Amino acid sequence: MMKSIFESEKGIAIQGYEGSFHQVAAQNMYGKQVTVIPCDTFRDLIRIALDKSASSGAIMAIENSIAGSILPNYNLLQKSKLKVVGEVYLSISQNLLVNPGVRLEDIKEVHSHPMAILQCLEYLEKTNWKIVESDDTALSAKQLHQHKGKHTAAIASKLAAELFELDVIAPNIQTMKNNFTRFLVLQREKEAVEITNANKASVYFQTNHSKGILAQVLTLIASGGINLSKLQSMPIPGSTFKYGFYADLEFENKQQFNKVMASIESLTNSVKIFGIYQKGKIVKG
């Protein structure tokens, strides 16, 4: 947990409602007692994270092992003055929740976010339940609790079950058990602490788009002993099919990273370092 590295007294902005997987990730980074600030959208999350009077930073999902990168979030990060100071890989566990006393044979419909429903389709297709899409997994759990439904279930996290006093009638109903979401820990640039023993960095760069230039950049990164763990291309706004690149670089020490960044300087432009931090671990959702 990163609770000992920087404070979170004003709360941490998350996308979604209390009980969401964003809150689970926040608890893993800051501790169970962390105060979260629910935001309707990722744009709202960035806005609250940038407001010194409103928050101490944010936790933001950036990619999923099944669905891939959340591309709009890269653009939000690019335009903001936030720094990546950590990450967490959360193992996503989808669970069927009901009000106390409700049995499987009582269920007639299931509510959840479309992505959660998609992740649990193999389980759901074995039933005759009506599937109802909602805006958020945790919101479905909250509404289930509020309405005291005896014939309705929700798909959400175990944290949501705990917060809204629901029973987990069927745990881990997702089709693919290896389902991970990567979350970034964000702080304002002026307040971001330097992470000791950093071994990973997230950067953005553009090239002059001459023939073979990207291959030259990648060769220099590899020859510097750095592992390129992610490379994501994104169109440059206003250009005609020209691309910038988001990259995650893993290294042994910061000096090695600095040396490689210096070696590619003549081949790149518009370079932005989103953050230098410690590689995250996989935790259970």
Q: What CATH number should be reported for the domain holding residue 204?
A: 3.30.70.260
**Position 4 confidence tier, pLDDT thresholds 50, 70, 90:** very low
CB 145 within 8 A of CB 243: no
pLDDT at 85 (0 to 100): 96
Other CB atoms within 10 A of residue 163 CB:
18
Domain assignment present for 243: yes
Same domain, 86 and 126: no
Over range 267-271, report the average pLDDT. 91
Whether the per-residue pLDDT at 2 is higher than 60: the answer is: no
Conformation bin of residue 241: beta by default, left when phi > 0, alpha when psi is -120 to 50: left
Same domain, 184 and 69: yes
pLDDT at 3 (0 to 100): 43
Same domain, 113 and 164: yes
User: Where are the extended beta strands (E) located within the chain?
Assistant: 12-15, 36-39, 58-64, 68-69, 82-91, 95-98, 109-112, 130-133, 152-156, 167-170, 180-188, 200-207, 227-235, 243-250, 268-277, 282-284
Domain assignment present for 150: yes
Domain assignment present for 36: yes
Conformation bin of residue 258: beta by default, left when phi > 0, alpha when psi is -120 to 50: alpha
Nearest of 226, 115, 243, 96 to residue 170 by alpha carbon: 96
Q: Which of 12-26, 111-125, 227-241 has the lowest mean pLDDT?
A: 227-241
Same domain, 20 and 86: yes
Same domain, 36 and 81: yes
Domain assignment present for 6: no
Same domain, 53 and 185: yes
Same domain, 146 and 79: no
CATH number at residue 131: 3.40.190.10
Same domain, 50 and 183: yes
Over range 31-41, report the average pLDDT. 94
Same domain, 17 and 41: yes
Same domain, 78 and 130: no
**Position 240 confidence tier, pLDDT thresholds 50, 70, 90:** confident
Domain assignment present for 285: no
Number of domains into which the chain is organized: 3
Whether the per-residue pLDDT at 42 is higher than 90: the answer is: yes
Domain assignment present for 147: yes
**What's the mean pLDDT when you consider all of the chain?**
93
Same domain, 81 and 140: no
Domain assignment present for 44: yes
Domain assignment present for 71: yes
130-137 long-range contacts (CB < 8 A, ≥24 apart) are 136/16, 136/17, 136/20, 137/16, 137/19, 137/20, 137/21, 137/94, 137/112, 137/113
Same domain, 16 and 80: yes
Quote the domain boundaries for residue 239: 200-277
pLDDT in tens, 85-124: 999 999 999 999 999 999 999 999 999 999 899 999 999 9
